[in-house]
Chains A and B, each alone.
Chain A
């Protein structure tokens, strides 16, 4: 009892003292914090209460400079300690002091009893979040080229995840690398009243795949939003001085002057200025520059703008306000779940937006073509409406879009009014291209010349002495006023299944008119002889362009495309498809009486295997400019736009092929799989495509398989084989080409910081015996006549190295050398694809990635590429006299490329 009494007495006496001490500590700590906050202008909060700091020890994470200086160390050492905390990082333990150069072990031993380290957590949770998912942001950035704008949407969801227990089917399906089967597994669970409480819980959802769950996990939260910050701003600047692609160079450099007789007469004066390249002095074209700004409040309010100056274009400072408004892109939007007689999901966007539905048959507005776009894995589509500040300009939609979802219904409505670049021809034969002339087609220009520029060049070419080629067809910037009204209606009767309808009507201020074939070939090809000779059956694709002039129903000023799509998930298989029609002469309510397109696919998923099969069939006349579904090649492949640049009335028409975003008219069946059949072996991707091109019934087979062997995590051996045949089903051997490619690669993780990749590629191409190949060989005296098919072969070796100095500084570099005649290679460079061709060459590049701070990121890439261009051809063609030397020091091309990207996220 006495002990109890004494204990109580002691408690009563001591506790106030202790409380006072704690209060003092708190005050001191508070003062320290305030002082520190003033210094670093950034709020930090202690993870634990200040009471844990012992009074006799100085907390290195909160002490002021003066306090650190009071320790038994020199003022330089005190400054170094303070700077370490201020400019490097907070102390995790007192042993971090040894990281400071001026603190040796003796000093540390001396300081040990005098200092402590409290645990701190950076209050900037957005920075912390970014740090956690940085590798994903980096990966999204590396796919930006293929995904064009979608990366921004995914990055927003990474930074501000959404509640998985509230997301709709399409919301989850729109995440990268997530299949409909994974989504159905999640929604099915929720449908029975279950909620998903953690990643582990998600992973155990019946039917979900390992990869599906893994890919979803960073985009969603389960109980509590990990980031409470609401306002986010992202700014990006990109500078890129890459040269024009080779095929575009040929287009710009081709002569626009034709002389009486034949355009191939060698007497044609060799004058550089008779090409667009020479006329516009494109040697000095300035680099491309992109500035992009996005602001958002949660995932609700969003706004953004982009000013993209493509290579050669005038920068923003040289444009007037009207052009700035036309050439830039911007949006404001609002997305919200509303509780209005139930759960409603609303999205509304004004400005530029992207609209994608189904499989992209009716509407998917991007300027960029992607072959074999399955809609799965890395070829994902985000269906519905999303904001758009991508580089897409020609097929950009600008106006208002509304997306509303409720229960089983989804309705989208969109309006757009924008001016498009178009190919205009002198249809009224008044000798000039004016507003009264008809339009042949949309066009995406490699360099977006202004009308004044184009007119001055055409005037120069037309007035050229003895030139008979009058330019009466040419691209024109913003020549076509397009107003689009469209919508999508979708009903989901049960989980994983929906049927939807999509349609749009585009109204134009000018007529799209495709002349009769005879007239068309002479319009496109300047030389009458060539017009007859060179016009091939593949050019049907041009004749089949949409025309607003109809013999059946008279003239109209619109284009209507409509269709329906569906999806259903049955166990581990998802079946989906879309059917679309372009209204030409048929009835709007009758199916099958107009040019049509259909695509159907089935995707089966197991834990270690997926299998995709797909069938597509697009009519030649199905000319929907917003069509972006699966195909093997882009529109106008093998037509005069690709093959006959030198004979075109206007060489710039080659852009019709070069930047075509529409798929070629084809039908075929495609299979794709990934299969991890043992712990060590994985078929990372294998596909087989068998298709027929509609324009000329040419058939093709393409197979590619990649196998990876991973004996241990640090070592990977990769093999790839590609085989492709394109030929007609008759004896026209000249129509056959066959390519085979073999690749063997090794990847070694040398340490936690270093990675090396070595590889070898060998390829062969069997080509038809075109005279142009056999008569222009390297050696003089080669046969002039076609004798047999030619087999070209080439190979490439490459080595790549990655070194991480630490998590904030990384250098990636590679070297490759190739040699081959008629064989080309695609090479994936860090974050972009490069196409290596020509006889032989080499290149090296390196890219430095620096995370300057938690919200500032810099990437600088330098590339040097040197390759032979056409030395043999030049030597052969430049009138080498029979006697005498004709020596040029070099006919090789050297390219120095710089690319800079700066991202500021706060």
Chain B
């Protein structure tokens, strides 16, 4: 009964909870996988995936699904702690360390669901599946307070001058149809055809406090908006070979996706709104611009190996390498390799212990002296997890992912904006200036992702 109640509880909370970084609020956060087992083994599943959602990484994984019918849900909690700090200097004006001035932790929602049907004809196994899930997410929230420099002698905090917000919401969701054929449980090929559709709304606002407005009535709130709708088709193909019972290879390929984007940026059509300039002529004049309507998902090629050695515990070892052609997205980006390693041990009582690691890269764009630069940010991730049988046909997997990244960014709300003497208690002590790329913020983000998947197989 307890297990049944637990199952009901998990079904009721059958949504993904996401919290994404402000870094990806415009470029979108690509969602790697939806299966808790895969997540726990570092997402190294190009060859070693055996759950329905693993087919999203390599459609050929669907060909090795053994049961006749199955469905899967995933619930996920992802915590992103975004700490922004400003550089601190010692008495010799040497940059020593950073002092955190704002910390944001946010939660958002999403969901995924999928089902498959498996048919066997002699030596050939065929399987089809339908999956609905988010492909890319734009959710992120940022909030900071600007307080005045009044002291707290009167047992009160310095009053708020303004509240700054960045709110981004939206996702590109995918309805995917997958099909796979397997010959003699030896080789399989699969295809995924997806319709990608979604939208994103981003709003950046500075809201003055009543106290600030009382002191300076001419202040007006500031709001910038970006609204976009996305449309695209995706095709992904994959192959998988089980060389023998121990060894398997998998490969998956998804070409570049070009999205049809409509919307507006502060009232300007996104096709005319310039995001950044990427090329310059000999006189350093911008020649080629990147628009808000230019939205692409890069070509990805992933290859993986799965190995089941003899061990006193049942052991699965998987290793993937993925080539991402980031130059498809922006000519400033370099193509990169990502690495995924995962291992699963099943202890004597069949409880699995899963461990994994992956190493991925992303980019942040910044403008300096009229030129745009791309900074590479690496994201190492450590993963762990386990699983258990909930009811006879229900399996539940739980995973934990930890990743962190560190990069430099400009102050999201520049100091000079608040440079009104009327707003400050002691303006003589202030020298509000914008810190540019010579003195940027350090952003440290940690992601903790706890994911649970429930799969039903019949």
Contacts and interface: CB of A to CB of B under 8 A. Distances in A.
Contacts of A89: 310, 312
A278 B442 CA distance: 10
Given A271-B439, A284-B408, A808-B313, A253 B355 contact: no
A808 B150 CA distance: 62
B285 interface: no
A877 B309 contact: no
B379 to A, nearest CB: 10
Contacts of A852: 307, 309, 311, 315, 317, 343
A860 B406 contact: no
Given A88-B314, A287-B380, A852-B309, A275 B407 contact: no
Interface string A836-875: 0000000000001011111010101010000001100110
Contacts of B245: 39-40, 86
Interface string A272-305: 1111011001011011000000000000000000
Contact of A900 (B152, B312, B357): B357
Interface stretch (A205-213, A485-493, A663-671, A879-887): A879-887
A713 interface: no
A83 B314 CA distance: 9
Contacts of B6: none
B268 interface: no
Interface string A875-906: 00111010111101111011010101010000
Contacts of A870: 88, 90, 96-97
Interface string B39-78: 0000000000000000000000000000000000000000
Contacts of A805: 313, 345, 347, 353
A255 B313 contact: no
A851 B94 CA distance: 47
Contacts of A854: 309-310
Contacts of B92: 255, 263-264, 268, 646
B402 A896 contact: yes
A322 interface: no
A889 B84 CA distance: 10
A883 B345 contact: no
Contact of A853 (B90, B309, B378): B309
Given A809-B345, A884-B426, A270 B97 contact: no
Nearest to A90: B310
Size bin of chain A's contact surface: 35 or more
B267 interface: no
A396 B438 CA distance: 38
Interface residues of B, number: 70
Interface in A87-104: 87-89, 99, 101
A869 B85 CA distance: 14
B93 A255 contact: yes
A430 interface: no
A41 B246 contact: yes
A283 B407 contact: yes
A386 to B, nearest CB: 31
A395 B310 CA distance: 43
A531 to B, nearest CB: 16
Nearest to A884: B149
Contacts of B150: 884-885
Contact of A808 (B103, B311, B375, B440): B311
B93 A87 contact: no
Contact of B95 (A241, A275, A318): A275
A270 B87 contact: yes
Interface string A670-692: 00000000000000000000000
Given A806-B312, A889-B102, A253 B95 contact: yes
A239 B376 CA distance: 18
Instruction: Tell me which of A253, A284, A879, A888 has the highest count of chain B C-beta atoms within 10 A of its own C-beta.
Output: A284
Instruction: Tell me which of B309, B314, B426 has the highest count of chain A C-beta atoms within 10 A of its own C-beta.
Output: B309
Contact of B313 (A88, A254, A263, A286): A88
Interface in A787-823: 805-809
A891 B312 contact: no
B244 A264 contact: no
Instruction: Tell me which of B100, B152, B315, B425 has the highest count of chain A C-beta atoms within 10 A of its own C-beta.
Output: B315
A896 B425 CA distance: 39
Interface of A is mostly: mixed
A278 B95 contact: yes
Interface in B97-151: 97-103, 149-151
A250 interface: yes
A828 interface: no
A851 B103 contact: no
A589 B29 CA distance: 72
Contacts of B382: 860, 862, 898
A877 B91 contact: yes
A10 interface: no
B341 A902 contact: yes
A86 B101 contact: no
A898 B357 contact: yes
A41 B244 contact: yes
Given A270-B93, A275-B94, A284 B99 contact: no
Contacts of A890: 83, 85, 99-100
Contacts of A869: 96-97
Contacts of B151: 883-885
Contacts of B100: 888-891
Interface in A508-552: none
B348 interface: yes
B404 interface: yes
A858 B307 CA distance: 14
B439 A808 contact: no
A877 B90 CA distance: 6
B458 interface: no
A317 interface: yes
A270 B89 contact: yes
A838 B12 CA distance: 48
B421 to A, nearest CB: 14
Nearest to B86: A888
B94 A253 contact: yes
A265 to B, nearest CB: 8
A856 B438 contact: no
B444 interface: yes
Interface string B394-409: 0000000010101110
A781 interface: no
B417 interface: no
A285 to B, nearest CB: 9
A278 B89 CA distance: 13
Nearest to B361: A286
B404 A896 contact: yes
B255 interface: no
A278 B313 CA distance: 49
A87 B311 contact: yes
B208 interface: no
A87 B376 contact: no
Instruction: Tell me which of A39, A99, A853, A879 has the highest count of chain B C-beta atoms within 10 A of its own C-beta.
Output: A853
A860 B102 contact: no
Nearest to A286: B378
B321 to A, nearest CB: 12
A83 B246 CA distance: 11
Given A853-B307, A874-B97, A898-B382, 5 more contacts: A253-B94, A272-B439, A805-B353, A854-B309, A888-B99
18 contacts: A40-B245, A88-B313, A239-B357, A250-B94, A268-B92, A275-B95, A278-B95, A284-B376, A318-B334, A809-B345, A852-B343, A854-B309, A856-B309, A856-B317, A878-B88, A888-B99, A896-B402, A898-B357
The 6 closest A-B pairs by CB, nearest first: A853-B309, A888-B99, A268-B93, A273-B438, A881-B429, A270-B89
Interface of A: 39-41, 83, 86-89, 99, 101, 239, 241, 250, 253-255, 263-264, 266, 268-275, 277-278, 281, 283-284, 286-287, 317-318, 646, 805-809, 848, 850-854, 856, 858, 860, 862, 869-870, 873-874, 877-879, 881, 883-886, 888-891, 893-894, 896, 898, 900, 902
